[in-house]
Structures are given as structure tokens and as C-alpha cells.
């Protein structure tokens, strides 16, 4: 597979003080990667660095061979969609109006949305089963409903890469599975996904590769079977665990014990 992203010896942080230190890895087209690690490991800092919120203090990030930091913002929005962990609703858009905002990278100034824009938005609404709430105001939605709308808006950008920061936070188990199943469907249709995930079992079940961070450093980069090693997890998370194999998916899953 061709590389979509190349992260080379990246240092990044806040107030010119590095939080992530010397991180390097590559992302191939079509991968579903989970960024995992304990609180304070540097997951969200790396996420913000990849989506351009935080400056790179040292190192390089290349997108299909081009310097990501020099990419035109409109071009970046067409290629990379971002779902932050915290989203504040500022205006009372309907669900459909809000999803249409994802088409702005393809719109010219003072031009109405095209027939293609309408087609892509309708497809997104159907894929995420949002037909019944398409005319509701987004500030009236539950957390699970809003998360699905955010995914729908990202989908209509028609990106090559989707970056997510804890997309299942504050959702019940049904909502978590629904969001992760949707992301897996998108991934199986060619979308590359990189997601910060706190739930190690969700990360192991859905991702084909895990990147384990701790104290701003990359500790392990590999398949779920390679990363979900009980000794490694105990060392990083400071908790005693048992790692078993899911009899249905053959993916490792974690059990805590005292």
C-alpha cells in the first residue's frame, strides 16, 4: 500500500515546550489506526499536530509526499476531515443544514450548493440513518445523535483521511458500537482512519494497527495482537490485566483484575 502520511521525528507541544518527542511512523492508504495510551500520554497533542492546530516544533509531516504544513487550507479540507473531542454548537442549524457545511471546501464564493452537493449530503444522511432527525436543530440532539451528525458532516467532505479524537466518549455501549461500525464501513470503502481511543477493547476490535504512546513517546507500533501484550499494557497503564482472545473476531481483549 502507498503511504498517505509520513510522520518523521516530530516534536510538538504548547508554549514551545514539547509534549510529544521524536515520534515517527507511517500511515498507508486504507488503514484504520488507533492512537492509545494513558491520560497525558500525548494522544490529543499528536492529534492536534496532525490536524494543524498545534505547530510542529521539530520534524516533518508529509501528506502523499508533500509538506502538510504548507498545504492550502481549502485543499487540506478536501483531503482531511477532522472530528474534535469537544464540539460546541454556536448556531441553531438543522441537522441537514449543518451537514451541508461539510461541502464548503468544494464551493465557490457566492455560489449555491450544486446537485452533487445535495446527492452527497443525502447519501450521508441515509448511511447514518439520520432521516428522522434531518430537520431537527443540532442544539436539541442527544450526545449520540450529535456524534453521528458530526461523522456525517465529515463524510460529505469526501476526504481521503479522517482524524477523530475519542469519537465514542460520552456514548453508551450501543452508541459506541454504532459509531465504530460506521467508521469501519467507511474504512472498508477506502477511507483511511486515525482515531484517538481510550477504550482499548474498542481499539483492538476495530483497528488494524495500534500506536501506543506514553509520556509523549511512541512505545509500540503494531497490530492489536502485537500491542495488546499484558506485560506492556501493565507497564504503561499501571494496572493489572488479563488479555484474552475474542472467540468471534480473534482479536485480543482486556480484562482488569485487582
What is the domain partition of the chain in residue ranges?
Answer: 3-256
Cβ partners under 8 Å of residue 95, min gap 6? 125, 130, 133, 134, 135, 136, 137, 138, 141, 149
Pairwise CA distance, residues 137 & 207, whole Å: 33
- Phi/psi at 181 (nearest 5 deg)? -65, -40
Q: In the beta sheet, which residues pair with residue 161?
A: 80, 192
Tens of pLDDT along the chain (258 residues) come to 578 999 999 999 998 899 999 999 999 999 999 999 999 999 999 999 998 888 899 999 999 989 988 888 888 888 999 988 766 666 788 999 999 888 887 776 545 677 888 899 999 899 888 999 999 998 888 878 888 898 899 889 889 999 999 888 778 898 889 889 999 999 999 999 999 999 999 999 999 999 999 999 999 999 999 999 999 999 999 999 999 999 999 999 999 987
Q: Which three cell numbers stand for residue 12?
A: 510538538
Pairwise CA distance, residues 258 & 114, whole Å: 58
Pairwise CA distance, residues 187 & 30, whole Å: 6
Q: Which three cell numbers stand for residue 34?
A: 488507533
Pairwise CA distance, residues 143 & 224, whole Å: 29
CA atoms within 13 A on the CB side of 237: 21
Q: Which three cell numbers stand for residue 40?
A: 497525558
Q: Does the 3-256 domain belong in CATH 3.40.50.300?
A: yes
Amino acid at each position: 500500500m502507498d503511504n498517505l502520511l509520513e510522520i518523521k521525528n516530530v516534536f510538538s507541544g504548547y508554549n514551545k515546550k514539547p509534549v510529544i518527542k521524536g515520534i515517527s511512523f507511517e500511515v498507508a492508504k486504507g488503514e484504520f489506526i488507533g492512537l492509545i495510551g494513558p491520560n497525558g500520554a500525548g494522544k490529543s497533542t499528536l492529534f492536534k499536530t496532525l490536524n494543524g492546530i498545534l505547530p510542529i516544533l521539530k520534524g516533518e509531516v508529509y501528506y502523499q509526499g508533500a509538506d502538510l504544513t504548507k498545504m492550502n487550507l481549502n485543499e487540506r479540507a478536501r483531503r482531511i476531515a477532522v472530528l474534535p473531542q469537544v464540539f460546541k454548537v454556536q448556531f441553531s442549524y438543522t441537522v441537514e443544514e449543518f451537514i451541508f457545511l461539510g461541502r464548503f471546501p468544494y464551493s465557490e464564493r457566492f455560489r449555491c450548493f450544486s446537485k452533487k452537493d445535495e446527492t452527497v449530503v443525502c447519501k450521508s444522511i441515509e448511511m447514518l440513518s439520520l432521516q428522522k432527525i434531518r430537520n431537527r436543530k443540532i442544539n436539541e440532539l442527544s450526545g449520540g445523535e450529535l456524534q453521528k451528525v458530526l461523522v456525517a458532516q465529515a463524510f460529505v467532505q469526501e476526504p481521503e483521511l479522517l482524524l477523530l479524537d475519542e469519537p465514542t466518549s460520552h456514548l453508551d455501549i450501543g452508541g459506541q458500537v454504532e459509531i465504530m461500525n460506521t467508521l469501519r464501513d467507511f474504512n472498508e470503502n477506502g477511507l483511511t482512519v486515525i482515531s484517538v481511543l481510550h477504550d482499548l477493547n474498542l481499539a483492538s476490535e476495530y483497528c488494524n494497527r495500534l500506536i501506543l504512546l506514553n509520556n509523549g513517546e511512541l512505545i509500540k507500533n503494531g497490530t492489536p495482537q502485537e500491542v495488546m501484550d499484558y506485560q506492556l499494557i501493565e507497564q504503561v497503564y499501571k494496572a493489572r490485566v488479563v488479555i484474552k482472545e475474542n472467540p468471534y473476531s480473534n482479536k485480543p481483549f482486556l480484562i482488569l483484575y485487582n
